[in-house]
C-alpha cells in the first residue's frame, strides 16, 4: 500500500497562515464580544428610558440589525477589493464610533439620534458575521465547519462576561456623570477600538487575498450594490436554503432575546437578573458552536439545521408556558441560543461550500444583509407583539418561522 505523499511547501504555508488567521480572529472576537455583551443587555432598556415607552424597546435590536444589514455588503465588497484586514479594521472603527454616539444621544435625550446611533453600532454585528466567513477563506472542505465554529465560539468569552458588567459599568458611568444605562456602551467603544488595532496589525498575510491569488480581479457586476450576490442565490438552491435557515433563525433569536430584558424588568427583575439571563443565552449562542461545526463537517449541514430548529421550537414552548418564572425564561433563552448556534454555524458553512471562492464575498455579504434585515423585522414586530399579547404570545408566534425552515430543509431537493 502506497504511503500518502507528504504535503507540499505551499500546502504547509497555507496551513500555517490558516492557523494564524483563526487565532487572530478568535482574539478579535473575544474583545468584540466583551463590548457587545455589555451593550446588548442595556439597549432595549435605554431606548425605553429615552422614549418613555416600552413599545419602542424593540427598536434597539431592530436598529442594530438594520445597521448590520446596511454595512454587510459594503464590508464584503471592501474585503473583496482590499482584503479581510482592511474590512474588519474599518468595521471595528465605525462600531466604536456608534457606541460613543449612543452615549452622546442619551446625554442629549434625543430618541432620533439614539436610534440612528444604534444603527451605526450595528456594524459591530456585521463585523462579527464577516469574521466567521474569514475563517473559511483558507479552510479545506474537511475543516470548514470546524474553523468557522471556533471563531463563533470565541465570542463566548467576552459576550458572557459582558452582560454581567451591566451593573458595575452603569455605576461607573453614573460616577463620571453619564446618564443611566450608558456605561456599557463606553466599554463597547473601547473594546471595538482594541479590536481594530488587533486586526490592523496582526491579520497578515490577508487570508482572502492569499486564497484568491490570480482571481483577485473583481468579476463584472460585483460592485453594483451586491446585485451579483442576489444573482448567485437565484441560481443556487443549496445557497438559498442555507440563507433562509440563517435568516429566519436569526429573526427568531433577535425577536425573543430583544424582548427578554423588558419582560424580566416588568416582572420584578433587576439589571443583575437581566445580565445573568442574557449571559446564559449568549453562552448557548456560542459555547457549543465547535460541536455544531464538527457535526456539520461529519454529518452535513441539513441535519444540524434541523436539530437547531427543534431546539428553537423547544425554546418557544418553554418561554410561552413559563413566562412568569425567571428560571424557565432563562432555560428558554439557553435553548434559543443553542438553536441559533446550530442553524447559524451549519447554514454559514453550507453557504461557503456552495459557491466558488471568487463568488463568496458577494454571496456572504448578501446573506448577512438578508439575515440582518430578517432580524430587524423580527425585532420591530416583537415590541408591538409584546405590547399587544405579551411574552407568551410572542413566543408562540415565533413558532411560525421555525416551521418554515423545517419544512424547507425537509423538502425534496429539486
| Residue 173 · residue 183 · CB < 8 Å | yes
In a domain, 220, yes or no: no
Q: What phi and psi values does residue 269 have, to the nearest 5 degrees?
A: -80, 170
Residue 222 is predicted with a pLDDT of 47
Which secondary structure element, helix H or strand E, spans residue 180, and what is its range? none
Residue 265 lies in a domain: yes
Please give the Cα distance from 62 to 125 (Å, whole number): 12
Query: What is the rounded CA–CA span in Å between residue 208 and residue 69?
Result: 22
CA dist., res. 113 & res. 35, Å (int): 20
Give the C-alpha distances (Å, rounded to integers) separating 4 from 14, 47, 299: 19, 61, 25
Total domains in the fold of the chain: 1
In a domain, residue 1? The reply is no
Helix axes 84-108, 111-121, angle to 10 degrees: 160
What are 74's three cell numbers? 459594503
Closest residue by Cα to residue 55 from 64, 66, 47: 47
Cα dihedral 273, 276, 279, 284 in deg (nearest 10): -100
272 membership: H or E segment, kind and range = helix 271-286
Quick one: CA dihedral 339, 157, 319, 185, positive or negative? negative
Domain of 149?
13-206+225-410
Q: Is residue 217 part of a domain?
A: no
Q: Is 212 part of a structural domain of the chain?
A: no
Q: Which residues contact 310 (CB under 8 A, 6 or more apart)?
A: 339
Distance CA 55, CA 83 (A): 41
DSSP for 354-409, written as a single string: HS-GGGHHHHHHHHHHHHHHHHHHHHHHHHHHHHHHHHHHHHHHTHHHHHHHHHHH
In angstroms, rounded to a whole number, what is the distance separating the alpha carbons of residues 197 and 336? 33
6 lies in some domain: no
Q: What is the pLDDT of residue 39?
A: 63
Q: Tell me if 2 is assigned to some domain.
A: no
How far, in Å, CA of 124 to CA of 13, rounded?
31
The one-digit pLDDT tens for each residue of the chain (414 residues) are 455 556 666 777 888 888 999 999 999 888 877 666 656 667 777 877 787 776 676 677 678 778 888 888 899 889 988 999 999 999 999 999 998 998 888 888 888 898 888 888 888 888 888 888 888 888 888 888 888 888 888 877 766 676 666 667 667 777 777 777 777 788 888 889 999 999 999 998 999 998 887 655 555 444 444 457 788 888 889 999 999 999 999 999 989 988 888 788 776 667 677 778 877 888 888 888 999 999 999 999 999 999 999 999 999 999 999 888 888 989 999 999 999 999 999 999 999 888 888 888 888 889 988 988 898 888 778 878 887 888 889 999 999 999 999 999 998 654
Instruction: Give me 178's grid cell.
Output: 453619564
DSSP label of 267: T
Look at the block and give the residue holding cell 433587576.
Answer: 270
pLDDT at 304: 96
Whose cell is 419544512? That residue is: 407
Q: Is residue 357 part of a domain?
A: yes
d(Cα 157, Cα 144) in Å, to the nearest integer? 22
Cis status of the peptide bond prior to 205, with omega within 30 of 0? yes
Identify which of 289, 288, 375, 276 has the alpha carbon closest to the alpha carbon of residue 331: 276
**What are the residues whose beta carbons fall under 8 Å from the beta carbon of 263, sequence distance 6 or more?**
323, 329, 386, 391
What Rg value do the Cα atoms of the chain yield, rounded? 20
Q: Among residues 343, 300, 339, which one has the least CA distance to residue 141? A: 300
C-alpha distances in Å from residue 167, one per residue of 54, 89, 191, 316: 21, 30, 18, 28
H and E: helices and strands count for the chain: 17, 0
CATH number for the domain spanning 290: value is 1.20.1250.20
Amino acid at each position: 500500500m502506497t504511503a500518502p505523499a507528504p504535503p507540499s511547501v505551499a500546502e504547509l504555508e497555507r496551513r500555517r497562515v490558516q492557523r494564524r488567521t483563526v487565532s487572530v480572529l478568535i482574539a478579535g472576537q473575544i474583545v468584540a464580544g466583551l463590548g457587545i455583551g455589555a451593550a446588548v443587555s442595556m439597549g432595549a432598556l435605554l431606548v425605553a428610558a429615552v422614549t418613555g415607552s416600552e413599545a419602542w424597546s424593540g427598536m434597539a435590536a431592530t436598529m442594530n440589525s438594520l445597521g448590520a444589514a446596511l454595512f454587510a455588503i459594503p464590508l464584503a465588497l471592501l474585503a473583496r477589493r482590499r482584503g479581510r484586514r482592511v474590512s474588519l479594521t474599518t468595521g471595528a472603527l465605525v462600531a466604536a464610533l456608534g457606541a460613543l454616539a449612543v452615549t452622546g444621544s442619551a446625554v442629549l435625550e434625543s430618541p432620533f439620534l439614539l436610534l440612528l446611533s444604534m444603527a451605526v453600532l450595528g456594524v459591530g454585528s456585521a463585523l462579527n458575521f464577516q469574521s466567521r466567513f474569514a475563517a473559511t477563506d483558507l479552510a479545506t472542505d474537511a475543516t470548514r465547519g470546524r474553523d468557522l465554529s471556533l471563531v463563533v465560539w470565541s465570542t463566548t468569552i467576552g459576550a458572557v462576561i459582558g452582560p454581567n458588567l451591566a451593573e458595575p459599568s452603569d455605576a461607573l458611568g453614573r460616577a463620571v456623570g453619564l446618564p443611566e444605562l450608558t456605561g456599557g456602551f463606553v466599554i463597547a467603544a473601547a473594546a471595538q477600538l482594541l479590536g481594530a488595532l488587533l486586526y490592523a496589525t496582526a491579520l497578515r498575510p490577508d487570508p482572502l487575498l492569499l486564497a484568491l491569488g490570480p482571481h483577485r480581479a473583481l468579476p463584472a457586476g460585483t460592485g453594483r450594490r451586491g446585485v451579483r450576490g442576489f444573482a448567485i442565490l437565484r441560481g443556487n438552491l443549496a445557497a438559498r436554503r442555507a440563507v433562509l435557515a440563517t435568516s429566519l433563525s436569526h429573526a427568531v433569536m433577535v425577536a425573543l432575546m430583544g424582548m427578554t430584558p423588558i419582560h424580566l424588568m416588568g416582572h420584578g427583575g433587576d439589571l443583575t437578573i437581566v445580565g445573568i439571563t442574557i449571559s446564559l443565552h449568549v453562552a448557548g449562542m456560542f459555547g457549543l458552536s465547535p460541536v455544531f461545526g464538527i457535526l456539520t463537517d461529519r454529518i452535513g449541514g441539513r441535519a444540524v439545521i434541523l436539530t437547531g430548529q427543534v431546539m428553537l421550537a423547544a425554546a418557544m414552548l418553554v418561554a410561552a408556558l413559563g413566562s412568569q418564572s425567571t428560571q424557565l425564561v432563562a432555560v428558554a433563552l439557553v435553548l434559543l441560543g443553542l438553536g441559533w448556534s446550530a442553524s447559524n454555524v451549519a447554514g454559514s458553512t453550507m453557504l461557503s461550500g456552495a459557491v466558488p471562492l471568487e463568488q463568496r464575498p458577494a454571496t456572504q455579504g448578501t446573506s448577512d444583509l438578508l439575515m440582518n434585515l430578517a432580524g430587524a423585522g423580527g425585532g420591530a414586530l416583537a415590541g408591538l407583539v409584546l405590547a399587544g399579547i405579551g411574552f407568551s404570545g410572542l413566543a408562540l408566534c415565533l413558532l411560525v418561522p421555525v416551521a418554515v425552515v423545517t419544512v424547507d430543509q425537509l423538502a425534496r431537493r429539486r
